[in-house]
Amino acid sequence: MKLARKLDQIQQHLHSLDAQNFDAINFEWAGIKFSATSSKDRSGTYIVEVNAVLGRLYFTAEAPEKRAQALQQFFIINRTCDGSYKMDQNGTIYYRNLTSTADHQTGLNLTNCLTLILLESKKHLYQLRSLLKPTQ
């Protein structure tokens, strides 16, 4: 699994660091750039937040089938899963996942949380990403 290999590389790198108490990380997986943070929200609940830009819808003149399929997948996925997908006025699709945790996640614990979150979202991320124009 590519995700497992990538996360193993991250974990090996973390083990080589003296201080593993970070609560924010940026990384790339499957051609998607992610940012993740662990923090406390206004109500005092600990949250792991994961964000990514998946790509942009093709214009109808570029690839009408991919555009139609992407829109269909976008609406289906948003109805059926916890990860939130948003679209801006330019057709750019964003992924955002908020996961409550028992306590503040740092270092290796944060990467373990990210592993679970991304494994849960993997199928939907891949489906939607394959129908979008990549971001620069």
Scored b (16 or more CB within 10 A) or e, 95-110 reads bebebeeeeebebebb
For residues 69 and 59, what is the distance between their CA atoms, to the nearest angstrom? 12
Q: What is the pLDDT of residue 45?
A: 95
Mean pLDDT check: name the lowest of 10-19, 39-48, 67-76, 97-106: 10-19
Q: What is the pLDDT of residue 5?
A: 84
What class, spelled out in words, does domain 2-129 have in CATH? alpha beta
Token readout for 18 is: 């003296």
* Model confidence pLDDT, tens digit, residues 73-110: 888 888 777 558 999 999 999 999 999 999 999 988 89
Domain boundaries, the chain: 2-129
